Amino acid sequence: MEREKLKNIYECLFKDEVRKDEMEPPAAVVTLTHFLSSDKNPIILEAGCGDGRNLYLLSRMGYENLFGVDIIDHTNMEGVSYQQCSIDNLPAEWTGKFDCILCAAVIYFLDDPKQGLKEFRRCLKENGILVLTAHTKYSVFSLIRKVKMWLGFQSMSHLKGCHWDRDVEEYISMAESLDMKILYRSGFRTSYIYHKFSTISDRILKRFGYRFPVIRFRVNLPEFWNNFKSKHAYYSILVCHKGQ
């Protein structure tokens, strides 16, 4: 996707201020913290950090060595070392720098995702981990969004040019071809009907000072269910390990 087009998409997506203090940690952050060692303060990069909401949550959890990159301008990301660049062309001096890289719902914007994965691997330390999330090819969410795009819904304009034709198995194959081991695979938002019901209910309840009960993402589920979710949920989640 062209760089200027992607910048316009991002600036449209993040034009509205988010109440970060009210946010629940998303599945990508829950997964990342689950796999991080608790006896050190890791150096974490979010590749494609958008408005910095995930980095804000990590900072609130006590993580201090936080870095972010994206192609949009930022002036107000407190506690984060931010650099404006593309995720498939990270700074040369970052080779072997990070204990963990988070790339949440961004990789499918790249025409060549393997180049992005190569950069992530280069910038990870030995035994570092990559947490990657991406739209799944076979979910109801993706099907409905494709139909909306075909019908010309303006709310879907930011997704034109996304590569939803890639199955989670393709991302796994790319990572393994770069000598990265898959430690974990899963997905989140499996039920479209429940997601829509909870979203609408939450908007109504907020007017009366209440919130719809949140079903929090769980990492430790049976393997067969995690495998199913990785292919059919709204987003797939992969945790990749860079060996020595």
pLDDT on residue 178 = 96
Q: What is the dihedral of CA 46, 50, 51, 53, to 10 degrees?
A: -50
The domain containing residue 161 runs over which residues?
3-242
Residue 75: the pLDDT is 58
Instruction: Note the pLDDT of residue 222.
Output: 87
How high is the pLDDT of residue 35?
Answer: 92
> CA 125 to CA 136: how far, in whole Å?
28
- In this structure, which amino acid lies at residue 231? K
Q: Which of the 8 DSSP states describes residue 59? A: H
For the entire predicted model, the pTM comes to 0.84
At 73 the pLDDT is 78
* Structural domains in the chain (count): 1
> In CATH, what number is assigned to the domain containing residue 61?
3.40.50.150
Distance between CA atoms of residues 163 and 178, nearest Å: 21
Digits of tens for pLDDT over the chain (244 positions)? 555 666 666 555 555 555 555 556 788 898 999 998 776 689 999 999 988 889 999 998 899 999 999 988 775 678 899 999 999 999 999 999 999 999 998 998 898 999 999 999 999 999 999 999 998 788 777 787 788 888 888 777 767 777 777 889 999 999 999 999 999 999 887 655 555 555 666 677 667 776 655 556 678 888 888 898 888 888 899 999 998 7
